[in-house]
Amino acid sequence: MRILDLALKDLSQILRDRLSLLFLIVMPMAFTFFMGLAFSGAAKPDDPRLALGWANADGESRLSRQIYADLEASGGIRWVELAPADAEAAVRQGDVAGALVIPAGFAQAAFSAAPLPLTLIADPSSTTGQSLYQLVQAAAVRTLSAVEIARLDVAMLDAQNALADEEARAQEREAALEAALAGWTQADQQGAWVRVESAVAETDEGAPLGGNPFNQSSPGMIVQFAITGMIGAAGILVQERKTRAWQRLITTAMKPWQIVVGHWLAMVALVLGQTLLLILFGQLVLGVNYLREPLGVLLVAVTFSLWIASMGLFIGILARGEEQVILFGLIAMFLFTSLGGAWFPLEVTGKAFYTIGHFTPGAWAIDGLQNILVRGLGLASVWQPAAILLAYALGFFALAVWRFRAKEA
C-alpha cells in the first residue's frame, strides 16, 4: 500500500503542473497531426501509368482527338501536355516516359497519297519504350484503318459516279469515317473475350504507410513524447534528494526497494496513460486503425511503457540535478527517436542505418505498432518487438537498482 501511495503522490505532483500536461497531451497531438501532413505525399501510391507527352501540332482535328481518346481509354498512360518543340527534351530529362508528336496537317494528309507519320519519341531498347510503342501502334492502326475504309468508300462511289462534287465527297468521307470508328467501338463492347471485374481490398496494404500518413506520425510521436514526458517524472527523484525527502522516506517503515518501485510504478502509469490517450486520439481523430488488433497494440503499449519508465528511473537516480535530467532525457529522446524511425520510416534508409536503428528500443516499439497498422499482421507479429522492449526495460531497471545501491553505499 505504501508503494501505491508513493506512486499516487508522484502522479498528482506531475499532473498538477499545467505545463506538464502541455508536453504530455497537447504537443504530442499537435506534432502527430503536423508530421502526418508532412508524410501525406509519401502515403499516396505512385501513379503506375506511363507518362506520355502529348505534342499536338494538328489542332483539334478529328483524327488527333480519336488517337488521344483511344490511348486514354487504354488505362496504361497519363497525358502530359507538351509543345512539339519541347517533346524531345522532356524525354531526355526524364519528365515523361515518351512523347507522341502529331504533325501539323496530319488529319488532312491522312486521306491523301502521302500521309504524315506520327512520331513517338522514346527509348526503343527499354521495356517502357516498347510498351508505349505497342499502345500507340494499336491506337494509330485503329484510327488509320478507319481512314482507309473511308477513303476506299469514297473511291468506290467515285468509280460509280455517285458523288456529284468535292463537297459530296467530303460529306461521304466524314460519314464513312464516323461509321468505321463506331464499328471499332462496337467491336470493343460486344466482342471482348475477357471480362474484367474490380475488387477493393479492406486495407490498401500495398500503399506506402498503409495509405494513411498518420500510421507513421502517430507511433513516432508516441515514442518521442513518452521520452519527453518521462523527464518530468525523473526530475521528482532529483527534487526529493535535494529537499532530503528521499532521506526522510528511508527513515520511515518503507524499505529502499519499495521507494524505488513506487517511483517506477508512477512512471509506468504516466507513460501508459499518455500512450493509450494518444492511441485513442489516433484511432478516433486520425483514422489510425489501432483497434484492428487491440491485444497486440496493448502488448506493445505495456512493454513500451515499462521500458520508458525503467529508463526514466535510471536517469532520475543517475542525474545530480534538474539540468542533468533534462540533458540526459533530451539525449535519449534524440537518440532513440532519430535512429528508431520516429521521424521517418527506416525502410527508406540504407541497410546500414536500418540495422543500426534496430539496436534501439524505439525502432522495435514502432515496428510492433506498424506490423499491425501498415503491414496488416496480427498478434503473433508483436511478440518479438514486445520481448525486446521488455528486455530493455529489465536492463534499464537493473542499471537503476545498481546505481541506487552505489549511491546508498
Q: Which residues of the chain have pLDDT under 70?
A: 1, 5-6, 10-11, 13-14, 17, 19-21, 23, 36, 38-48, 113, 127, 153-155, 158-167, 169-173, 176-177, 180-181, 183-211, 240-241, 243-254, 256-257, 407-409
- Rounded Cα distance between 33 and 29, Å, is 6
What pLDDT, on the 0 to 100 scale, is given for residue 159?
66
Q: Which helix (H) or strand (E) holds 313?
A: helix 294-318
How far apart, in whole angstroms, are the C-alpha atoms of residue 153 and residue 209? 58
User: For residues 178 and 63, is the Cβ–Cβ distance under 8 A?
Assistant: no
List the domains of the chain with CATH numbers.
2-43+207-408 (no CATH), 50-190 (3.40.190)
What is the pLDDT, as a whole number, of residue 253? 60
Q: Tell me how far apart the alpha carbons of residues 405 and 60 are, in angstroms, rounded to a whole number.
A: 86
Q: What is the pTM of this model?
A: 0.59
pLDDT at 39: 62
pLDDT at 46: 55
Which pLDDT score, from 0 to 100, does residue 244 have? 67
Cell numbers at 177, concatenated = 469515317
As a whole number of angstroms, the distance between CA 95 and CA 80 comes to: 9
In 49-207, alpha helices (H): 62-73, 87-92, 106-110, 127-159, 166-190
Q: What is the DSSP letter of 84?
A: G
Per-residue confidence (pLDDT) for residue 163, from 0 to 100: 60
Whole-angstrom Cα distance, residue 387 to residue 385? 5
What is the predicted pLDDT for the residue at 201?
Answer: 38
pLDDT digits (tens, 9 = 90+) for 26-39: 777 777 777 767 66
pLDDT of amino acid 204? 45
Alpha-carbon distance values, 306 to 116, 270, 389 (Å): 75, 11, 8
Cβ atoms of residues 98 and 131 within 8 Å? no
The reported pLDDT for the residue numbered 41 is 55
The pLDDT score that the predictor gives to residue 200 is: 38
β-bridge partners, 52: 79, 98
Q: Torsion angle of alpha carbons 396, 397, 400, 401, nearest 10°? A: -140
Rounded to whole angstroms, how far apart are CA atoms 341 and 327? 21
Q: DSSP label at 254?
A: -
Can you give the pLDDT at residue 202? 42
Neighbouring residues of 160: CB distance < 8 A, sequence distance ≥ 6? none
Query: CB count, 10 Å around CB of 257?
Result: 12
pLDDT at res. 43 = 47
pLDDT tens string 224-258: 888 777 777 777 777 766 766 666 666 566 676 67
pLDDT at 212: 73
Q: What is the pLDDT of residue 394?
A: 92
